[in-house]
């Protein structure tokens, strides 16, 4: 049976497309953005993680580990990911759920049942289901089947993607997509490599191809662009102006919305649970005047002012 590795499902979210939505976070991502808000979703082999607030310190997890991969340190239980064989014995032994698998496998019928629980809300609010990640296109064959079934049930679908996938994979999924939420993070190639670990030429090429395909009505999806505003990385006037130029000049007039998503550090506990440092730990929220200046730079290249929105938390 076809299955997908999924590390989270948010219900009732308003962030990933129109209306009230369920967002399904598919495991694995070819990028490693320095500001990543879902670090647990990057690796293809996620294993287990530990949550301090649920732990009662009984150490049953350590007793259960066959390879001594979960020693306790000053900051709590540390999973040695080189040593861990992802057997799950610590998860079974833990009485509180403090030790858990990061991701789990879902069959197509089970995942459909899960998200269709909220079908009435989708209908009432113009919402639906969003595939996110990680990079959901890593599991594109499953996503295509998932969306095909949702469309058959009258549920609208949104694809939240970094654009880093073969165009042939997009061609498989896009017939079943109502909204493409396409990330354009950095236009400068070397900055893109520096901050995400990958080249952006592939991403830009796919953006052009998807825009052309939408213009030619080969797909009926509505195209949204999303740019994370990360101080010290993406949140510069030069970068926003360059992305604006790209959208205005190379996306065939097909972009219906451009979201500038203000940085927040709400994911810090995820890094703590993984035992990883986070480069953005001390980065502050942006101020309204900063986002206004960035928005101004964004529209300087000719993108319609009405299409550009700042989203997310701001500093008082
Ligand atoms: S998953 Fe298995 S190997 Fe890994 S820490 Fe838990 S018990 Fe040890
Ligand atoms: S078994 Fe669970 S509660 Fe006990 S020490 Fe390990 S993680 Fe904490």
Return the residue whose CA atom lies nearest to atom 7 of ligand 1: 65
CATH number of the domain bearing residue 66? 3.30.70.20
83: number of CA atoms within 13 Å, CB side?
10
Same domain, 246 and 279: yes
Range of the domain at 56: 48-101
> Residue 86 CA: which ligand is closest?
1
Query: Which structure tokens are listed for 153?
Result: 């049930």
Same domain, 144 and 14: yes
Q: Are residues 120 and 229 in the same domain?
A: yes
Say if strands 48-50 and 99-101 run parallel, antiparallel, or are unpaired: antiparallel
Same domain? For 86 and 187 the reply is: no
| Exposed e or buried b per residue across 182-201, where buried means at least 16 C-beta atoms within 10 angstroms of its C-beta | bbbbbbeeebbeebbebebe
Q: Tell me the C-alpha distance between 245 and 58, whole Å.
A: 57
Give 190's Cβ-side CA count (13 Å radius): 0
pLDDT at 203: 98
Instruction: Please choose from 72, 77, 84 the residue to mutate so as to test ligand 2's pocket, defined by most ligand atoms within 8 A of CB.
Output: 77
Residues 146 and 287 both lie in one domain: yes
Do the domain assignments include residue 210?
A: yes
Is residue 61 situated within a structural domain? yes
Closest approach atom of ligand 1 to CA 85: 3
The domain boundary residue, chosen from 69, 84, 101: 101
Q: How many angstroms separate the alpha carbon of residue 71 from the centre of ligand 1?
A: 10
User: 304: domain CATH number?
Assistant: 3.20.20.70
Same domain membership, residue 307 and residue 220: yes
User: 268 with 215, same domain?
Assistant: yes
Domain boundary among 78, 101, 124: 101
Compute the distance between CA of residue 99 and CA of residue 88 in angstroms, rounded to an integer: 9
Distance 86 CA to ligand 1 centre (A): 5
Going by C-alpha positions, the residue among 45, 22, 157, 165 that lies closest to residue 105 is 45
* Integer Cα distance of 193 and 79 in angstroms: 29
pLDDT, residue 310, reads 96
240: in domain: yes
Q: Do 250 and 197 sit in the same domain of this protein? A: yes
CA of 67 to the centre of ligand 1 (A): 7
Ligand with minimal distance to 83 CA: 1
Per-residue pLDDT 10s for the chain (316 aa) are 689 999 999 999 999 999 999 999 999 999 999 999 999 999 999 999 999 999 999 999 999 999 999 999 888 899 999 999 999 999 999 999 999 999 999 999 999 999 999 999 999 999 999 999 999 999 999 999 999 999 999 999 999 999 999 999 999 999 999 999 999 999 999 999 999 999 999 999 999 999 999 999 999 999 999 999 999 999 999 999 999 999 999 999 999 999 999 999 999 999 999 989 999 999 999 999 999 999 999 999 899 999 999 998 888 7
Q: Does residue 114 sit in the same domain as residue 13? A: yes
In a shared domain, residues 74 and 29: no
Ligand closest to the CA atom of residue 95: 2
Ligand (nearest to CA of 99): 2
Question: Into how many domains does the chain fold?
Answer: 2
Overall size of the chain counted in residues: 316
Task: Give the per-residue pLDDT at 74.
Answer: 84
Ligand 2 is surrounded, with C-beta below 6 A, by 50, 55-61, 77, 93-94, 96, 98-99
54 and 125 belong to one structural domain? no
Report whether residue 48 contacts ligand 1, using a CB cutoff of 6 Å: yes
Largest CA distance in the chain: 62
For residue 289, what pLDDT is reported?
96
Structure confidence at residue 1 (pLDDT): 63
Answer yes or no: is the C-beta of 65 below 6 A from any ligand 1 atom: yes
Cα(first)–Cα(last) distance of the chain, in Å? 51
Q: What's the predicted TM-score (pTM) here?
A: 0.95
Residue with tokens 């990028």: 31
Q: 269 lies in a domain?
A: yes
In a domain, 316, yes or no: no
- Asked if omega into 57 is within 30° of 0 (cis), the reply is no
Say if ligand 1 is within 6 A of residue 86 CB.
Answer: yes
Same domain, 144 and 55: no
Is 168 among the domain residues? yes
Output the pLDDT for position 31: 98
């Amino acid at each position: 049976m076809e299955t997908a590795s999924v590390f989270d499902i948010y219900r009732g979210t308003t962030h990933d497309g129109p209306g009230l939505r369920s967002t399904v976070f598919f495991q694995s991502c070819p990028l490693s953005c320095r500001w990543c808000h879902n670090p647990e979703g990057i690796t293809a082999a996620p294993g287990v993680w530990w949550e301090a607030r649920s732990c009662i310190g009984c150490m049953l997890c350590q007793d259960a580990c066959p390879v001594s991969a979960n020693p306790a340190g000053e900051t709590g239980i540390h999973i040695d990911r080189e040593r861990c064989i992802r057997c799950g014995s610590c998860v079974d032994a833990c009485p509180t759920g403090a030790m858990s698998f990061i991701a789990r496998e879902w069959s197509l019928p089970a995942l459909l049942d899960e998200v269709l629980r909220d079908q009435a809300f989708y209908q009432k609010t113009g919402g639906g289901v969003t595939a996110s990640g990680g990079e959901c296109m890593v599991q594109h064959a499953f996503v295509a089947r998932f969306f095909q079934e949702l469309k058959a049930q009258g549920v609208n679908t949104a694809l939240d993607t970094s654009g880093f996938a073969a165009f042939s994979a997009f061609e498989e999924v896009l017939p079943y997509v109502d909204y493409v939420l396409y990330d354009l993070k950095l236009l400068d190639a070397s900055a893109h490599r520096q901050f995400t670990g990958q080249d952006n030429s592939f991403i830009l090429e796919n953006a052009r191809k998807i825009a052309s395909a939408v213009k030619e009505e080969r797909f009926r999806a509505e195209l949204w662009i999303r740019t994370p505003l990360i101080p010290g990385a993406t949140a510069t006037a030069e970068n926003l102006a360059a992305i604006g130029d790209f959208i205005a000049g190379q996306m065939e007039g097909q972009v219906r919305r451009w979201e500038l998503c203000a940085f927040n550090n709400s994911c810090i506990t995820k890094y703590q649970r993984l035992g990883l440092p986070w480069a953005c730990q001390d980065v502050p929220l942006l101020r309204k005047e900063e986002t206004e200046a960035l928005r101004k730079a964004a529209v300087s290249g000719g993108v319609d002012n009405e299409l550009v929105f700042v989203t997310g938390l701001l500093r008082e």
